[in-house]
């Protein structure tokens, strides 16, 4: 796969993140995880985290802002997760 060959040339320091406003299954994050797992990094591969809507029923009704907060994909939650994994 062409993308896998190029991935080794990318200078990934600590972590890779994907952010999606839908289910964890079958999205961009899954595709990135496949590429990372097949890339054959020299040394330790980067930490990979999918930030997305978890596979659960919700009783929360509200604005997009409210739903992002409930699913931990609002800006504060994203920054917190990135800092947690990279510092």
Predicted pLDDT at 62: 93
Domain 2-86 classification at class level? alpha beta
Q: Where are the chain's structural domains?
A: 2-86
Categorize the per-residue pLDDT at 73 as very low, low, confident or very high, splitting at 50, 70 and 90.
Answer: very high
Categorize the per-residue pLDDT at 34 as very low, low, confident or very high, splitting at 50, 70 and 90.
Answer: confident
- pTM above threshold 0.85: no
Tokens of 23: 């289910």
Cα distances from 37 to residues 8, 13, 22, 73, in angstroms, run: 12, 16, 22, 24
Categorize the per-residue pLDDT at 1 as very low, low, confident or very high, splitting at 50, 70 and 90.
Answer: very low
Over residues 10-22, the mean pLDDT reads 78
């Amino acid at each position: 796969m062409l993308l896998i060959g190029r991935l080794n040339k990318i200078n990934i320091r600590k972590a890779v993140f994907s952010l999606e406003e839908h289910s964890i299954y079958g999205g961009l994050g899954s595709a990135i995880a496949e590429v990372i797992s097949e890339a054959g990094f020299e040394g330790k591969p980067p930490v990979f985290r999918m930030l997305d809507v978890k596979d659960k029923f919700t009783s929360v009704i509200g604005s997009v802002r409210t739903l992002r907060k409930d699913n931990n994909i609002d800006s504060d939650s994203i920054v917190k997760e990135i800092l947690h994994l990279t510092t």
